[in-house]
Structure 1
Amino acid sequence: FFSSCNSMADKPLFSFGVVADVQHADVEDGLDFFCTTLRRYRGAATRLNEACKHFQEENVDFMVNLGDLIDGKSRTPSPETKDLTDEERASLIWENNLVPCFERNGFQFWNPKTSNEGRKFVHNVVGNHELYCFSRQNLAQKLFSNSNNNRHYYSFIPHPSFRIIILDSYDFSTLNGGSEETSAAFSFIENKNPNDIRANVDWFVGVEGVERRWVPFNGSIGDEQLVWLEEELQIAKKEDQKVIILSHCHLCEGVARPGSLAWNYDRVLSSLHHENCVVAVLNGHDHRHGYLQDNKKIHHWSVPSILESADGAHAVLDVYADRIEIQGGGEIDSFVWEL
């Protein structure tokens, strides 16, 4: 089920590029949340541009960003931006430093109102750092060119035999933008975590295993989205489609550090298992490589972060009827998943 990649003669059904956790900001390098890993904030945009250029050269059909394209530090004022709001400062970084990486290499952000015929779209998964920087309405306009829809989950069909489902793992979270919803989310996880999660303290003290997921930088898939997901899986099953799931937070224990799990990962995973049509789940968020094939033969992959990789971190996935070949770039290795 998991082997090193080797060249095979047949042509893939479709191919796509993947990046995760770029977290670009125009600030000096610094350490991560645990003060153990160097984060290269400015250099992340350069690594992103290199990834997009590689995807263009490989002639992928589309590319995927698994969340956290921008870092929350993009709200930090400088002498030139001190009179702007936090969101305006982040917007400057987004438009001037990030969007050009895609556009100069022939990619554009997905627009649900535009046909994808002849276009190379970027499909964006929502991460916590996007929500640190932007309201949901403004984020929808930036990611999907659609300011009238605050829903950040959808599906598309890259080939008649495959369906890709993009989930919003911050559907219910402390970051969802409404004061009542935010308060409800804080109250919900305060009952799960003994630490003061509203303060700038170590939220993991005395918390072990999957209980470490109850922190503000995670979230959950809401009830309405779960119903939609189950309907999508039923349709895929009926149409004999294999399904690839994209989510920022992780949906299976053991793939990555438990502090990266969605709050209701177990409920979502149960839904993924039910129709027996999901073949792979791709996540960002943890910043480290992680892999697990669960008891329903679903491949779960935690994609490494560009932000913390000196040589870049990106991959091209060539999707066949019976396998997915991952062609690694930068610090990502190459390997094959049998389906």
Structure 2
Amino acid sequence: MLSRRSVLAASAALMASRAGAAGARLRFGVIADPQYAEAPPNPALGRYYANSLDKLRAAVATLNREDLSFVVTLGDIIDRDVASYDRILPIYRSLRHETRFVLGNHDFDVAPDHRGRVTSLLGLDAAYYDFAAGGTRFMVLDGSDVSLFGLPPNDPRRTLAAERLKRAEATGLVNAKPWNGSLSDVQFAWLEQCLQAARAAGERVVVLNHYPVAPDNPHNLWDANRLTALLARQPHVIAYFNGHNHAGNYVERDGIHYVNFHGMVDTPDSSAFAIVEIAGDRLEIQGFGREPSRSLTLKTA
């Protein structure tokens, strides 16, 4: 049976943990959609695939001069062809910081027999995972989990993806597009458990995904509403970061900052990346190139 002293000690430890999470200063880099390929540009789409190598080299040089806990890329490291990884990953290896990857739809635009290798090529043990830094828990989602492109031809999730897309089209959802995806029920249950564990540990949470979920947009996850409804019930979730919509976007909803970072691939020479700082009740985004800077107030749990 727990004594009053042990209960008080546990409560004090939890309060200290929460105070530490709220007071810690955390800085990290963010890159979205380099989408590299050794291919001619497509000005109609605003895609300058081959130019991303030089842009990424310049971004790495800038980020290496900073004191950062890690650098995360929010998906679409490549545009197509598994050989593209051989050209762009050595540039990432020149980062002096820990490197984190989020999987995007174009990362799976490789021959079917290579799709199962994508996570290992990026040094990932799993397509979705979590990690902690500076009193904040980061939850990395795999929005291609149930999709028409990220799976082997005989995977049953492809059938489920076709059903979900058909329902989204029948409902008239603006994001009922074949280049989007959704979370499996298994991943969604994992996320719920991670959110509960983070709250019990007094950790603030930032969710990372390739696909946006808010505001309404053609690039959103098919199950965006299901995800935002879950996050709205979590007082310790402070932000959701994504790429995919290269034009960028932002909305605050239920005290959560939904930040869609701009795509690096989109212009001949102008880049886009950021340094994020979380400290106290502030979330500061220092944008470079096309990425705007933002100063955001964080809710208190």
Structures share a fold, TM > 0.5? yes
Counterpart amino acid of residue 69 in structure 1: I
Whole-Å separation in 2 of the counterparts to 1:191 and 1:266: 14
Equivalent residues of 2:215, 2:251 under 8 A apart: no
Read off the aligned partner of 2:142 and give its amino acid letter: D
* Structure 2 letter corresponding to 1:25: A
- Assess if the C-alpha contact under 8 Å between 1:12 and 1:318 holds in 2: no
Aligned positions of 1:1-339 closer than 5 A: 13-31=25-43, 35=44, 37-72=45-80, 75=81, 90=82, 92-95=83-86, 97-106=87-96, 120-133=97-110, 135-144=114-123, 146=125, 151-159=126-134, 161-178=135-152, 179=154, 180-193=156-169, 211-254=173-216, 258-294=217-253, 296-309=254-267, 310-339=269-298
Report the CA distance between 1:145 and its aligned residue: 5.2
**Deviation at residue 132 of structure 1 after TM alignment:** 1.5
**Structure ranking higher in helix proportion:** 2
Aligned partners of 2:290 and 2:150: how far apart in 1?
Answer: 33
Distance 1:12-1:240 versus aligned 2 partners, 3 A rule: closer
- Report the Cα distance in structure 1 between the residues aligned to 2:282 and 2:258, rounded to whole angstroms: 14
Query: Corresponding residue for 1:203?
Result: none
Tell me, yes or no, if the aligned pair for 1:218 and 1:263 is still in contact at 8 Å.
yes
CA distance in structure 2 between the aligned counterparts of 1:271 and 1:192, rounded to whole angstroms? 19
**One-letter amino acid of the structure 2 residue matched with residue 27 of structure 1:** A
Q: Runs of 4+ in structure 1 displaced over 6 angstroms?
A: none
TM-score, normalization by structure 2: 0.85
How has the CA–CA distance of structure 1 residues 304 and 57 changed in structure 2, closer, same or farther, with 3 Å as cutoff? same
1:158 Cα deviation (Å)?
0.4
> Once the two structures are aligned, what percentage of the paired residues are identical?
27
Contact 1:68 1:126 in 2 (8 A): yes
2 CA distance for matches of 1:281 and 1:129? 21
The residue type equivalent to 2:84 in the other structure is I
Q: In the comparison of the two structures, how many residue pairs are matched? A: 271
- Between the aligned partners of 2:109 and 2:145, the Cα distance in structure 1 is 14
- For 1:191 and 1:332, locate their aligned partners in 2 and report how far apart those are by CA, in whole Å: 35
- Unpaired runs of 5+ residues, structure 2, are 1-22
Q: Distance in 1 between matches of 2:292 and 2:24?
A: 19
**For the residues of structure 2 that align with 1:242 and 1:192, how far apart are their CA atoms?**
32
Q: CA deviation at 1:181?
A: 2.6
Report the 3-state secondary structure (helix = DSSP H, G, I; strand = E; otherwise coil) of the residue aligned with 1:43.
helix
Amino acid aligned to 1:28: P
User: Structure 1 residues 278 and 45, CA, compared in 2 at 3 Å: closer, same or farther?
Assistant: same
> What secondary structure is seen at the aligned counterpart in 1 of 2:273?
strand
CA RMSD between the two structures: 1.9
Shift of 1:335: 2.0
- State how far apart, in whole Å, the 1-side matches of 2:121 and 2:245 are: 24
Aligned partners of 1:245 and 1:192: how far apart in 2?
A: 24
Unmatched runs of 5 consecutive residues or more in structure 1: 1-10, 76-89, 107-119, 195-206
